[in-house]
Amino acid sequence: MFRAVDLITKKRDGQKLTREELAFLINGYVNNEIPDYQISAFLMAIYFVGLDFEEMTALTEVMVHSGDMIDLSPIKGVKVDKHSTGGVGDKTSLVVGPICAAGGVKIAKMSGRGLGHTGGTLDKLESIPGYKIELDSQAFFQQVNDIGLSIIGQSANITPADKKLYALRDVTGTIESIGLIAASIMSKKLASGADYIVLDVKVGSGAFMKEVASATKLAEAMVSIGKASGRKTVATLTDMEQPLGNAIGNTLEVIEAIETLKGKGPKDFAELCYNLSAEVFLISGIASSMKDALALVDEVINSGKALEKFKQMVERQGGNPKVVEDYSLMPLATHTVELFYREDQEAYVEHIDALKIGEAAMILGAGRAKKEDQIDHGVGIVIHKKVGEKVKKGEKIATLYTSGEYIEEALSLTHDAYRFSETKVAPRPIIITSIR
């Protein structure tokens, strides 16, 4: 029998833990036999010492087995899960899901809600009147078999160890650990049952990983864990130095996603969606080269098939599919406040702090500071100038959609998020690299 204190000191002193030792700590914590304060110390030891690949894989597997595992076998065909590590303005699932389903892949996706400066896919979908995020498993499987696509909330008891550990990490300064993030994300992906996994690992000020080097290590760790568990996994590193696309906030992001499905999305966001969808086509064997995969993406967008998939999903889940033609069917704040560029000197946008923009949107009511907070689907921010764009005195930089509350604070954060340069600035590439 182990003692928690011995395992904490073992890790603290830089030694490697065995699968049995990790299972003792994690299962003991989930079963309330080991207290928060010992697991807090253990997490901090991991934060400083790290986990090697074997430990990460073992920790992931222990977490997978802490709860239910979804069996997607009632769904015929290749099932792929696409997951993003979280960012500001990230509505990729709303676009990648329909594109991939239109191309013949089965997307049975369980998504989450937003917390803090990052938004959640479920909150965005609930901007659509009537859209139900809860389906029983039979209806979920049936819908994916019929139309290839469903995005729902998680009802099964998936990875309870992760839920408990994540909440503890959140209040003990131990979120930003590569080993802990890799095990947290991969345990949920492995328990969710897809055959293949496509990961979008965000890098930059609005992401957990601020540097390409650490994001690369995280991506490599997750791809290796996936491989060790028999699931083909690919990770794409993508830029989160500035918000993704132009819209931040629930209805605003659904509108931007629909525009992208119509082939009219902002360049960075559309490029990311095209690329991740192409990775899905490649990994699932639907396309044999990136060129063919991207051509298929083009085809399903240009023919309207991807937009049609989105409409079908909305309709099947009780939502009003007419939102696709009539955005006024979704809640949107009627009060707007504009932020202007006021300097005499023309300049280029050098940086837009994604974290600050995310916080400004949260303050307006688009996100939650605490899990219990209600959100306002109609508020948010549209940014009109992205990194590399030229600005002149009197030009609009951003529009805030507000119910009138906390507008000064949100305006000041949005203002502070922007940094300008008098010399030309290159636009930021959205795709950094892919790790296979």
Is residue 351 part of the annotated active site? The answer reads: no
Give the integer Cα–Cα distance in Å for 237 and 346.
Answer: 33
Stretch that binds ligand URA, among 52-60, 125-133, 140-148, 181-189 (CB under 6 A): 181-189
> Does 154 interact with ligand URA (rule: CB under 6 A)?
no
C-beta closer to ligand URA: residue 187 or 246: 187
Stretch that binds ligand URA, among 178-186, 191-199, 272-280, 376-384 (CB under 6 A): 178-186
Is residue 188 part of the annotated active site? The answer reads: yes
Is residue 169 part of the annotated active site? The answer reads: yes
> Does 47 interact with ligand URA (rule: CB under 6 A)?
no
What is the DSSP-derived secondary structure letter of residue 79? B
> Does 418 interact with ligand URA (rule: CB under 6 A)?
no
Beta-ladder partners of 79: 106
Nearest to 150 by CA among 74, 259, 51: 74
Of 195-224, binders to ligand URA (CB under 6 A) are: 208
Is residue 40 part of the annotated active site? The answer reads: no
Give the integer Cα–Cα distance in Å for 311 and 136.
Answer: 20
Single residue of 23, 56, 58, 86 touching ligand URA by CB under 6 A: 86
Single residue of 58, 94, 185, 432 touching ligand URA by CB under 6 A: 185
Q: Helices 250-261 & 267-283, crossing angle to 10 degrees?
A: 70
| Residue 346 and residue 352 in contact, taking contact as beta carbons nearer than 8 Å | no
Stretch that binds ligand URA, among 142-150, 177-185, 297-305, 368-376 (CB under 6 A): 177-185
Catalytic residue among 10, 82, 83, 309: 83
Give the integer Cα–Cα distance in Å for 430 and 164.
Answer: 33
What is the DSSP-derived secondary structure letter of residue 206? T
Q: How far is CA 171 from CA 165, 175, 248, in A?
A: 10, 9, 26
C-beta closer to ligand URA: residue 30 or 261: 30
Give the integer Cα–Cα distance in Å for 92 and 100.
Answer: 12
Nearest to 63 by CA among 231, 222, 189, 223: 189
Residues of this chain that bind ligand URA (CB under 6 A): 85-86, 166, 175, 180-181, 184-185, 208
Catalytic residues: 83, 162, 169, 184, 188
